[in-house]
């Protein structure tokens, strides 16, 4: 049972440099990482198969790393 559940789970999204650039461009257009919502970012990026959850996770990591000095 356990092996089957792992196989059914979606593979993690690999954020290529190009995909990240689209993300950054979307953030810029939407007024920055603190204003933009995952849904707005996803719609602005126009990437097939990208989910709100994937964008939400990436945005969370981006905010965490961009706060560092």
59 CB-contact burial (10 Å; exposed 0-12 / middle 13-18 / buried 19+): buried
Q: How confident is the model at residue 46 (pLDDT cuts 50, 70, 90)?
A: very high
Which structural domains are found in the chain, ordered by start?
17-66 (1.10.10.60)
Please write the tens of the pLDDT for every residue from 1-14: 555 555 566 788 89
CA angle 37, 54, 20 (to 5 degrees): 80
Q: Alpha helices, DSSP H only, in 1-69?
A: 2-8, 17-30, 38-45, 52-66
Mean confidence (pLDDT) of the chain: 89
Residues near 35 by beta carbon (within 8 Å), at least 6 away in sequence: none
pTM: 0.81
């Amino acid at each position: 049972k356990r092996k089957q559940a792992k196989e059914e789970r979606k593979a993690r999204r690999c954020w290529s440099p190009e995909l990240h650039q689209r993300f950054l461009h979307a953030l810029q257009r939407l007024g920055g990482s603190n204003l933009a919502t995952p849904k707005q970012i996803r719609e602005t990026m126009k990437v097939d198969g990208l989910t709100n959850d994937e964008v939400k996770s990436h945005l969370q990591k981006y905010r965490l790393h961009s706060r560092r000095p």
